[in-house]
Amino acid sequence: MSGWSGKKVLVTGAGGFIGSHLTELLVGEGAEVRAFIHYNSRSDWANLDQLDPSVSSELEVVPGDIQDPFAVRRAVEGTEVVFHLAALIGIPYSYVAPQSYVATNVLGTVNVLEAVRAEGVERVVHTSTSENYGEIQYSPIDEKHPLQGRSPYSASKIGADQMAVSYFRAFEAPVSTLRPFNTFGPRQSLRAVIPTIAAQALSGTTVKLGSLSPIRDLTFVEDTARAFLAVAENDTVGLTLNAGNGKGITIGELAQLVIEVAGSDAEVTADEEERVRPDASEVPELICDSTQLRELTGWAPQVTLPDGVERTVEWVRDNLTGLRADVYNV
């Protein structure tokens, strides 16, 4: 029997890309999952609507806003483990609406940490991002690498990370931080590079991207979801742990791989006007050193990049009509 069987768990941001996969995994492990999703008047559950009914029927879905401390406190009440994934994540949109990122990512994290303290939660896993490392000083990147905010998004996530660490140090809050490098897979929005390449390749003859030279370390979403469980199951309180494959690929090379898997002959072009980040904001290389996570928990990625891309392309193909590949959304 799984150690999660009967465990009362909250996932904030459960309707998001990674959050929906983590929620699905936890239900499969037998946990009693409360899914905190962003309230909307349409009564939709975001990516949770794509789960098999056998999974979604097991969920307690709680709509709310991570910026509201009262809603967060009610969501945390009665749970044993909290996975905090709720965040604004789009980097381009952070140039347009920076204060929204502070309110959601920093203050939202404080709301979760305060609720965890008040309710006596056993464990909380906070979600970071590899974007926080900024311009690399050495590669692969371990957890000792300096943090540098090169976009309002990454600055807000650094602030959230520091709040999590401060609550551990000041209040002995049982918080660990997982810092995933780039995650991909089914249900990811077209703001992410692999789905947008696939959608454009499947629906036209041109794939428009930003800079093609950045190097990224890509992990399939099911492996990232397993990393969250690994962190919560082991003695990692007070630590920040990287999760990634340790292998880099340029965006240009990645585009060719995705186009090939899609069976397309689309040409790749750089969209200088909309999709290229400001020069001083671009992060040129992110390759993960996840030695600590592997040694402490035994976690290791299981899905290869080609296999993960194939599964992602098939999901995009099946959902292409609703993805609006012709529209660039910051």
The catalytic residues are 153
Distances (CA, A) of 126 to 12, 35, 48, 161, 213: 10, 15, 20, 8, 30
Which letter, b or e, does each residue of 25-34 get, where b requires 16 or more Cβ atoms within 10 Å of its Cβ? bbbebebbbb
Taking alpha carbons only, the member of 85, 78, 73, 105 closest to residue 25 is 85
Residues 89, 251: Cα–Cα separation, whole Å: 19
Residue pair 51/20 in contact by the 8 Å Cβ criterion:
yes
* Continuous H helices in the chain: 17-28, 53-56, 69-76, 91-96, 98-101, 108-119, 152-171, 193-203, 221-233, 251-262, 291-297, 305-318
Residues 101, 106: Cα–Cα separation, whole Å: 7
